[in-house]
Amino acid sequence: MRAVLQRVTTAQVSVEGEVVGAIDRPGLVALVGVTHDDGPTQVEALARKISELRILRDERSVIDDAAPVLVVSQFTLHADVRKGRRPSWSAAAPGRVAEPLVDAVVAALRARGVEVATGVFGAMMEVTIVNDGPVTLIIDV
């Protein structure tokens, strides 16, 4: 499982012009990609990292600040671009495998008391991010 975390002041995701998820105060956006070998162990590890990493201002975490997280599924995080000019998506888990795992990350974050907004799995989404810092990390678990 891979995530790109971005510290943001605000963020939102829209589908067909309608806002489906938003955070309106400082927090994180987590772009989450699932691969074939991912399961419950990776879900828990990723939720722990997202909620406990001290990457907010003044070295605080999402838990410390009761900060929100916008989770957006993104299979393209597992693209292989080593050959040619066309990315291979074969490392990304198919939707029937990935969707429940992304949902499990959201549930695990909520179980830790984190306010979570989401995109729509498999939809063409427009994500608006006001990056704070900028701070962007890539997490592999």
Say which of 6, 12, 42, 74 is annotated catalytic: 74
Catalytic residue among 6, 35, 42, 75: 75
Beta bridge partners of 12: 22, 128
Which listed residue (76, 118, 128, 136) is catalytic? 76
pLDDT at 37: 94
114's tokens: 């984190």
> Tokens 């002041």 sit at which residue?
9
Q: Catalytic site residue 121?
A: no
Angstrom distance (rounded) from CA 13 to CA 3: 17
Please confirm, yes or no, whether 118 is among the known catalytic residues.
Answer: no
Would you call 75 a catalytic residue per the annotation? yes
Q: Give the residue extent of every domain in the chain.
A: 2-140
The domain made up of 2-140 has a fold known as: D-tyrosyl-trna(Tyr) Deacylase; Chain: A; (3.50.80)
In order along its 141 residues, the chain shows pLDDT tens digits of: 999 999 999 999 999 999 999 999 999 999 999 999 999 999 999 999 999 999 999 999 999 999 999 999 999 999 999 999 999 999 999 999 999 999 999 999 999 999 999 999 989 999 999 999 999 999 999
